[in-house]
Amino acid sequence: MKIIESGTGAEAGIRAANLIAELVRATPTAVLGLATGSSPLPLYAALAEQNLDLGRVRGFSLDEYLGLGAADAESYARVIRREVIERLGLDPDLVRTPDGLAPDPVQEAADFERSIRAAGGIDLQILGIGSNGHLAFNEPPSAFDSRTRVVELEPSTREDNARFFDSLADVPTHAITQGLGTIGEARQLLLIAHGEAKAQAVARAVEGPVTEDFPASLIQRHPNATLVLDAAAASRLQCARV
């Protein structure tokens, strides 16, 4: 595991973007796992400044709320389109997000899992981290071998995400998420975090016990995981970083 510390969230975004740019320059058809939320936004902003041709990059979103379609302002499909596809010049036909309005969400999850395998797997998975240690929407406890599936969101996760909605009551209660087994099969994990609010979760993920009760501890088992943190998010770590 490699830990990169930068002074600010914007600086962390630049360093994370450099890692993705290096991959895409070497492999223009790279498969990226795309995260939403506030943590990866500095990364996407910095990547947009690189004038990099991402037109052949393929992408798979980490998750999607059930009950929200691509036209909903807070759906992850809409966020990915706005913050990633349009901002970075990806081909929308090469980016897939689970359908939050699928008539059979269980089948949609299985189809999404198969589509990742059909693409040859994910080369680099972008990740944030939840305050309770969730990765994507894998709430504790989640099996390390879990696959893309329908999950119920913890109250704390809904409360954390309520800032994106008009009220807590508007936050969906369920989602489709890549499983920890799916995430763990990516050839590289890139977790980005900034702010003091993430410091405890980061420290536990990096230096705490590896346990399904804290899903983000999965990163300790991965052979090629990089964490890019600002100073606040790294403030509780005891281990060395660069």
Active site residues: 63, 132, 134, 139
pLDDT one-digit tens code per residue, 42-85: 999 999 999 899 999 999 999 999 999 999 999 999 999 999 99
pTM of the model: 0.96
pLDDT one-digit tens code per residue, 31-50: 999 999 999 999 999 999 99
pLDDT one-digit tens code per residue, 112-127: 999 999 999 999 999 9
DSSP for 48-109, written as a single string: HTT----TT-EEEESEEETT--TTSTTSHHHHHIIIIIHHHT--GGGEE---TT-SSHHHHH
Q: Is the dihedral of CA 20, 22, 24, 27 positive or negative?
A: negative
The matching CATH number, chosen from 1.10.1740.10, 3.40.50.1360, 3.40.50.300, 3.40.190.10, for 2-230 is 3.40.50.1360
> Residue 177 forms beta bridges with which residues?
63, 149
Number of H helices, E strands in the chain: 8, 10
pLDDT one-digit tens code per residue, 146-184: 999 999 999 999 999 999 999 999 999 999 999 999 999
How confident is the prediction for the chain on average, in pLDDT? 97
**Does pLDDT of 240 surpass 80?**
no
Q: pLDDT band for 239, please (50, 70, 90 cuts).
A: confident
Residues 229, 140: Cα–Cα separation, whole Å: 23
What does the pLDDT read at residue 211?
A: 98
Chain centroid to Cα 127, Å, comes to 3
Q: What is the DSSP letter of 17?
A: H
